[in-house]
Amino acid sequence: VSDPGQLPHLLKLVDDESERVQEAVAKALAAFGPALEQHLSELPTPPDQEQVERVRQLLRRHHSNESPSDSPQDEAGTEPRFVPGQLVRHVRYGYRGVVVAFDLTCQADDDWYFNNRSQPDRYQAWYHVLVHGADHVTYAAQTSLEANDTGEQVVHPLVGHFFSAFSDGRYTRNDTPWPK
């Protein structure tokens, strides 16, 4: 169920230059279905006619899949590219780590997602990554990661908790469940 309280935040992002942000906004707006314009008109500060038209254009592009063929969401697909135990590197921030678990779509709440410095497409695999040389875990989109073939182990305090062995550049995931 879409939250009309998020509409003012989504409207601020309609004209964002990032294709990924626009796609995420379009998907979030499309989730309101036919009731979207009614919800928009009921906002404390409703959008003017020009803003409503920009929303309509964004939704038309979204529904007709007019996004450029080289956009990251096209390569995201629906199948996970990485598996637990696989070494990865974050494309933008350069850290490396090991995948401990994944979700088929972003399971973070809207506040977390919209406070993220970038908003990769929510409708792709997202990975819980133990970061090398740190004690934290990141939640990264598939399009933000690439395989790391260095074969070097990851130093993280939770490696021994979630993995039973390291061989041939890959960790073996044990049966300890990832917390939900």
**Phi, psi angles (nearest 5°) of residue 178:** -75, 135
CA–CA gap between residue 162 and residue 160 (Å, rounded): 6
Q: What is the pLDDT of residue 78?
A: 56
User: Which residues 6+ apart lie within 8 Å of 168 measured at CB?
Assistant: 151
Task: Compute the Cα dihedral for 65, 68, 69, 70 and give only its sign.
Answer: negative
Confidence of residue 33 (pLDDT cuts 50, 70, 90): confident
Per DSSP, what are the bridge partners of residue 165? 172
Q: What is the pLDDT of residues 91-136, one digit of tens each?
A: 999 999 999 999 988 888 888 888 887 778 888 899 999 999 999 9
User: Which residues 6+ apart lie within 8 Å of 65 measured at CB?
Assistant: none
User: Which residues 6+ apart lie within 8 Å of 62 measured at CB?
Assistant: 23, 26, 27, 30
CATH of domain 78-173: 2.30.30.390
Q: Which two tokens stand for residue 119?
A: 């908003």
Q: Against a cut of 0.75, is the pTM above it?
A: no
What are the extents of the domains in the chain?
4-63, 78-173
Residue with token string 């990251």: 72
CA of 124: how far to CAs of 14, 160, 164, in Å? Answer: 21, 28, 28
pLDDT at 71 over 50: no
